[in-house]
Amino acid sequence: MSELHSNNDLQVQQLPEPSIHEITSKEHKVPTQYIISIDKFIILNIFTFGLYHIWWIFKAWRFFLQKDQSDIMPAMRTIFAIIFLYPLFSKILDYAKEKNYSEDFSKPFLLIIYLLLSVIAQAPDPYWIITFLSFLCLIPAFKALNYAKLHSTEFKTIERTAWGTKYIVTIVIGSIFWMLVLFALYLEMTEPQM
């Protein structure tokens, strides 16, 4: 409530201080969201040996931190993705349904397949390479989140259609590593058994 104080000819108007909620809502505005196509998501995951999906999980949690103005820790939820993947699927699907997303996906099934593919990393050569396909379990959630962002009026969403420099550099470096891995596997498979 504002008060007016008079002291001789000096008038001072004391305005109410903004509440903590008003301050934080201004500070936690969702920035412009940049999304990529499913094709780019798949290509980047292949050329980064499946590491791109970890970055995507972090960005998804960071988005919900900003949107919901919550106190979650996106980095910790990414590090412990096996524990927090199901809640992420739930948040994404709920948010997409709010935006009239018509598709659905089985969160438990995708989580189980993701876990199985992650365990295959311990398999002998060359079967461990299959573990890099674990990102395929994220595609339904990826599509749902992209849909929700594109249909949201609370923030601006831009789809990156061009292959920027950082994507091209990632693909070139990933290609070199894939060639080295495949060459090493070839050498190991053609090595005479003793």
38 vs 119: CA distance, rounded Å = 25
> Would you say residue 64 lies in a domain?
yes
pLDDT of residue 26: 43
> Would you say residue 54 lies in a domain?
yes
> Would you say residue 2 lies in a domain?
no
> Would you say residue 6 lies in a domain?
no
> Would you say residue 124 lies in a domain?
yes
pLDDT of residue 193: 67
> Would you say residue 61 lies in a domain?
yes
pLDDT of residue 19: 42
- The dihedral through the CA atoms of 160, 48, 113, 55 has a sign that is negative
DSSP SS3 for 8: coil
46 vs 26: CA distance, rounded Å = 39
The total domain count for the chain is: 1
Answer for the pair 185, 57: CB distance below 8 angstroms, yes or no: no
Structural domain that includes position 111: 33-190
- How many other C-beta atoms are found inside a 10 Å radius of the C-beta of residue 74? 18
> Would you say residue 18 lies in a domain?
no
pLDDT in tens, the chain (194 residues): 444 444 455 454 444 444 433 333 344 478 999 999 999 999 999 999 888 999 999 999 999 999 999 999 999 999 999 899 999 999 999 999 999 999 999 999 999 999 998 888 777 777 777 888 889 999 999 999 999 999 998 899 999 888 888 888 888 888 888 888 878 878 777 877 66
pLDDT of residue 79: 93
| Its pTM surpasses 0.85 | no
